[in-house]
Amino acid sequence: MNEENRLGGQQVLYLPEGASRVLGRDAQRTNIAVGIAVANAIKSALGPKGMDKMLISDLGDITITNDGATILEEMNVDHPVAKIMVDIAKTQDKEAGDGTTTVVILAGELLRGAGELLEQGVHPTTIIKGYKFAAQKASEILKSRAKKVSEGDDATLLKIANVSMSSKNVGDDQVKNYLSKLVIKAVKQVKDKEADGKVVIDHDLIKIEKKAGGSIADTQYINGVLIDKEIAHPGMPKSIRNAKIALIDVALEIEKTEIDAKIEITSPEQMQAFLQQEEHMLKDMVEKIAHSKANVIFTQKGIDDVAQHFLSKSGIMAIRRVKKSDMEKLSKASGAKIVTSLEDLNEKDLGFAGLIEERKISGEQMVFIEDCKNPKSVTIFIRGGTQQVVDEAERSITDVIGAISSVIEDGMYVLGGGSIEVDLANELRSYSNNIGGREQLSIQKFADALEIIPKTLSESAGMDAIDTLVQLRNKHRTKEGSNTGVDIFKNSVGDMNKIGVFEPMRVKQQAIYSASEAAEIILRIDDMISSKGKGGRGGGGMPPGMGGEME
């Protein structure tokens, strides 16, 4: 497409011949349509009765899940707006740990409402301004409706965990309840407090290890760390109680010099002396470890066969080539310091574990480090009948870790089942009457968009979405019915407080902000031009959806 301008009678070309471009309302319509399409693709996955998606890669790998972030990450999307929708799901996952499907559905509905206003002649900047007002007000209302919870209130925490767990296909209610209790125990164990007294939880300190075999009910909590490695030498002990652990970032082998060196050996005696010297150096290393009174060592580096022999004779268990992340977890769990020189190794650097044992799991050796004293890193070991089941259980447990962490850190939760969304929608409609100008139209559209959550929940349960929404609106106009939401198990509306459908406030708050900001970014775009790639001149053409199809 040739674009031109005239400057003093001169024709100035500022787009090269053949450059692709989508302008104005066409660009907005395309972007809104793509955003809605992505939201519709995962809409049916919302809630405990949501459907699963089967994702098949080019290599034939199968993923079966209803986790919004996973679906979007695995989907083959090329359009830039689709990638923005994927990004907000990732942000939601990182910040709140749950609610990825909610944020994408909400963003899609905000775009749908904006599209209707654009067709009526409302300017995009007016819509954006109204959405900003609405998101800010919704956050304020959300905080006023939130309820406090303490980390000692296990009953409420369990209800929050069960709501997060309920949307995943990981066994019956009894199994979900069991897994939720494991997660709560793990999160509480690794929580820490900053200098100002604020509770912080590092998710990385909860290691999730998985192995197909057994059933989901065989999933276990380990008060320590599980390492997917085997003991270095068959002569070493397979089990040690009251273990004294040394974590060394040193290779127990004779390392090659960094510069080329030539050693001339002219007689068998010299060869023998050379080998004996190597053996003596390795023996000296092992003696330093034994002198520290360590009976178990973990190293990131390798262990020479001769060193393994001496360690075995000394009754020391050794595990080599341990990942750096696992070494850090071992340090947090056992209290051991990671040492980088054997000269400095002493008894004060050692950690403790009640039991370290090698066990065979599904035909593979794994090392269990258990019964640590007040460990600040723990492990959840997931089992399941098939790899797909184990993978989905991992995603489910990760979501629950995020939900419980955010509610313990913030100490606030809200009612689920679409109850809080209907509350927010009603309040926003009242608020819009106080706003002059056309912004009130976009605030009302924001309110309508929030109601997509109870509508989708009722649809997935086989209820009539319109009838359910009317009932909820009417109930929420009275003080007695303000807790009403969608009771998907009874296919009716019910009191979410009595049923115990609770969700972390942060999940809802982050979803509102992320969805609103994504919609605002997309609505600001009125011109899409193919740009030159990072590698040099010339673009690769417009992505599908800018003249093609979204895949």
Tell me how crowded residue 223 is: count the other CB atoms within 10 A of its CB: 20
Q: What structural domains and CATH numbers belong to the chain?
A: 23-148+415-529 (1.10.560.10), 150-220+378-410 (3.30.260.10), 225-374 (3.50.7.10)
Model confidence pLDDT, tens digit, residues 326-340: 999 999 999 999 999
Residue 264 predicted with pLDDT over 80: no
Average pLDDT over residues 277-296: 89
Coil, helix or strand for 101?
helix
Tell me how crowded residue 194 is: count the other CB atoms within 10 A of its CB: 8
CA 533 to centroid of chain Cα atoms: 31
What is the per-residue DSSP string for 261-303? ------SHHHHHHHHHHHHHHHHHHHHHHHHTT-SEEEESS-B
**CA distances, 291 to each of 287, 397, 465, 493 (Å):** 6, 42, 72, 69
Per-residue model confidence (pLDDT) at position 472: 93
- In the block, tokens 């994504």 appear at 518
Q: What is the overall mean pLDDT for the chain? A: 86
Model confidence pLDDT, tens digit, residues 116-166: 999 999 999 999 999 999 999 999 999 999 999 998 999 999 999 999 888
Residue 231 predicted with pLDDT over 50: yes
**CA distances, 243 to each of 110, 152, 302 (Å):** 58, 32, 21
Average pLDDT over residues 109-114: 95
Average pLDDT over residues 263-280: 72
Average pLDDT over residues 244-248: 95
DSSP 110: H
Structural contact between residues 403 and 164, judged by C-beta atoms closer than 8 angstroms? yes
Cα–Cα distance measured from residue 414 to residue 498, given in angstroms and rounded to the nearest whole number: 13
Annotated active-site residue 344? The verdict is: no
Cα–Cα distance measured from residue 509 to residue 517, given in angstroms and rounded to the nearest whole number: 12
Does the pTM surpass 0.85? The reply is: no
Per-residue model confidence (pLDDT) at position 59: 85
Per-residue model confidence (pLDDT) at position 195: 64
Cα–Cα distance measured from residue 430 to residue 408, given in angstroms and rounded to the nearest whole number: 32
**CA distances, 208 to each of 93, 204, 221, 228, 396 (Å):** 17, 9, 10, 11, 11
The single residue of 30, 65, 91, 100 carrying the catalytic annotation is 100
Percent of the chain at pLDDT > 90 equals 58
Three-class SS of 48-66: CCCCCEEEECCCCCEEEEC
Cα–Cα distance measured from residue 129 to residue 436, given in angstroms and rounded to the nearest whole number: 12
pLDDT band at 256 (very low <50, low <70, confident <90, very high): low
Cα–Cα distance measured from residue 403 to residue 539, given in angstroms and rounded to the nearest whole number: 43
Cα–Cα distance measured from residue 280 to residue 310, given in angstroms and rounded to the nearest whole number: 11
Please name which of 296, 190, 306 lies closest in space to residue 236, comparing C-alpha atoms. 296
Model confidence pLDDT, tens digit, residues 159-212: 999 998 887 778 788 888 999 999 999 999 999 887 677 888 998 999 999 999
Annotated active-site residue 101? The verdict is: yes
Annotated active-site residue 126? The verdict is: no
Strand runs labelled E in 416-543: 484-487, 492-495, 502-504, 527-529
Per-residue model confidence (pLDDT) at position 546: 44
Residue 8 predicted with pLDDT over 50: no
The single residue of 349, 391, 399, 495 carrying the catalytic annotation is 399
Annotated active-site residue 67? The verdict is: yes
- Of 10-19, 102-111, 186-195, the poorest mean pLDDT is in 10-19
Coil, helix or strand for 385?
coil
- In the block, tokens 């972030």 appear at 69
Per-residue model confidence (pLDDT) at position 368: 96
The single residue of 30, 65, 67, 456 carrying the catalytic annotation is 67
Please name which of 246, 238, 232 lies closest in space to residue 307, comparing C-alpha atoms. 232
Per-residue model confidence (pLDDT) at position 7: 43
Residue 18 predicted with pLDDT over 70: no
Per-residue model confidence (pLDDT) at position 117: 94
Model confidence pLDDT, tens digit, residues 476-517: 988 888 899 999 888 899 999 999 999 999 999 999 999 999
Coil, helix or strand for 155?
helix
Model confidence pLDDT, tens digit, residues 452-470: 999 999 998 889 999 999 9
Average pLDDT over residues 424-440: 90
The single residue of 30, 65, 70, 101 carrying the catalytic annotation is 101
Percent of the chain at pLDDT > 70 equals 89
